[in-house]
Amino acid sequence: MNGLSMIVLGIETSCDETAAAVVNSERDILSNVVLSQIKEHSPYGGVVPEIAARAHVEVIDKVIARAMSEAGLNFDDLDGVAVTGGPGLIGGVIVGVMTAKAIALSRSLPFAAVNHLEAHALTVRLSGGRDGRSVKFPYLLLLVSGGHCQLLIVKDVGCYSLIGTTLDDALGEAFDKTAKMLGLGYPGGPQVEQWALDGDADRFVLPRPMFGREGCDFSFSGLKTKVRQTIQNLPAGEICKTDLADLCASFQRAAGDVVEDRCANAIRFFREEYPFSGDLVAAGGVAANKNLRSRLTGLAENFNIPFHAPPVYLCTDNAAMVAWAGIEQLRHRGPDALDFKPRPRWPLGSGMAQAPN
């Protein structure tokens, strides 16, 4: 299949979005349908796995039909079906995988089971579009989502080297928990970002866990604990708007300082390994955060390294990234067998590379 033009249907059901998209190998996104379950989960302040799985079952057929019709295609026009095969909430992953297998089997189409993290990791190679420059391997990746916070060297499709990870919470989780403690809605990241716009980031003194330490690992639980204590020390009753905005801004600044510091170490390490090539890339839901994007842009400028992040709508979960990862995967190593088993856990990376100093 290498080099041949391809049109692939992608399906994503690993968390709280039911999504389907059609993408071609020329990097055109022909359709990109994302149905969020925010309404179903928001009364609980987070994703409830059973509710998510049921909601996926109820809408998956319609979401796929809409993606096909918006692309103006039928199943016979496809060259493959790609689906998130993990990691994620297993009930949801099973719904997507079974649906994708059924389409692949009934139309005799190649099937690709995609690692959700790899889909985030490769999105930047899609998002330049048909006329844009495709980011080349190797690149240094900051992968920040609701469940993951990692620094990886992306060497090729399927070839990753993990150089740093969180010792406790993921960055998106820290945003979500902060939002929850402040009584903001779910998902919390966009809410915290919005409130932070009007806040004073110097107002509250918050810790920067791991800042200045060797290596590329992260930790956010100490920051979260201090946010909780700070809230407890505020005047009793409803938190006033100024305090809310200032706390969001202070949290975002502290988290950003940590990310910038860890990424600086990662760039130094990456540069030693690959002195003549390689860009810095951010991906995953938290990469939608404009403050973080601008800080990473500044950091990359200081190191004279090109920086890329997908457009915001391709940072949070979607199926265009799954379709694209499917195209890359089908070209690279061909289709997966239809007896693929959904994987609740599926780490990226061949293990820790040499710990950078």
Pairing of strands 280-283, 159-165: unpaired
As measured in angstroms, the least distance from the Cβ of 283 to ligand KG4 is 8
Q: Residue 16 binds what, of ligand KG4, Zn ion, none (CB under 5 to 8 Å, by partner type)?
A: none
Q: Which is nearer to ligand KG4, 187 or 356 (CB)?
A: 187
Q: Which is nearer to ligand KG4, 78 or 223 (CB)?
A: 223
Instruction: Say whether residue 145 binds Zn ion (CB under 5 A).
Output: yes
**Which residues, in sequence order, are CB contacts of 298 under 8 Å at separation 6+?**
none
Choose one: 29-37, 141-149, 200-208, 249-257; the region binding Zn ion (CB under 5 A). Answer: 141-149
Sign of the alpha-carbon torsion through 99, 103, 108, 113 = negative
Pairing of strands 159-165, 307-308: unpaired
Per DSSP, helices labelled H in the chain are 38-41, 49-71, 90-107, 116-126, 171-181, 188-196, 221-232, 241-273, 290-303, 312-315, 320-333
Q: If you ran DSSP here, which 8-state letter would residue 106 be given?
A: H
Q: Which is nearer to ligand KG4, 36 or 70 (CB)?
A: 36
Q: Which is nearer to Zn ion, 122 or 201 (CB)?
A: 122
| Binding-site ranges for ligand KG4 (CB under 6 A) | 15, 145-147, 172, 175-176, 187-190, 193, 284-286, 288-289, 316-317
Q: Residue 316 binds what, of ligand KG4, Zn ion, none (CB under 5 to 8 Å, by partner type)?
A: ligand KG4
As measured in angstroms, the least distance from the Cβ of 249 to Zn ion is 25
Q: Which is nearer to Zn ion, 110 or 284 (CB)?
A: 284
CA-nearest of 335, 334, 332, 321 to 122 is 321
Q: Which is nearer to ligand KG4, 103 or 143 (CB)?
A: 143
Q: Residue 187 binds what, of Zn ion, ligand KG4, none (CB under 5 to 8 Å, by partner type)?
A: ligand KG4
Q: Is the peptide bond before 87 cis (omega within 30 degrees of 0)?
A: yes
# chain residues binding Zn ion, by CB under 5 A = 2
Mask for 263-302, x = binds Zn ion (CB under 5 A): ----------------------------------------
Q: Which is nearer to ligand KG4, 6 or 124 (CB)?
A: 124
Give kind and range of the element (H or E) at residue 18: strand 17-24
**Which residues, in sequence order, are CB contacts of 357 under 8 Å at separation 6+?**
214, 215
Q: Residue 289 binds what, of ligand KG4, Zn ion, none (CB under 5 to 8 Å, by partner type)?
A: ligand KG4
Instruction: Say whether residue 178 binds Zn ion (CB under 5 A).
Output: no
Choose one: 33-41, 106-114, 140-148, 274-282; the region binding Zn ion (CB under 5 A). Answer: 140-148
Secondary structure tally for the chain: helices H, strands E: 11, 10
Instruction: Say whether residue 317 binds Zn ion (CB under 5 A).
Output: yes
Q: Which is nearer to ligand KG4, 41 or 101 (CB)?
A: 41
As measured in angstroms, the least distance from the Cβ of 347 to ligand KG4 is 14
As measured in angstroms, the least distance from the Cβ of 172 to ligand KG4 is 3
CA distance 188 to 173: 9
As measured in angstroms, the least distance from the Cβ of 155 to Zn ion is 21
CA distance 263 to 290: 17
CA distance 320 to 286: 18
Count other Cβ atoms within 10 Å, centred on residue 171: 29
Residue 24 phi, psi (nearest 5)? -110, 170
Residue ranges in contact with Zn ion by CB under 5 A: 145, 317
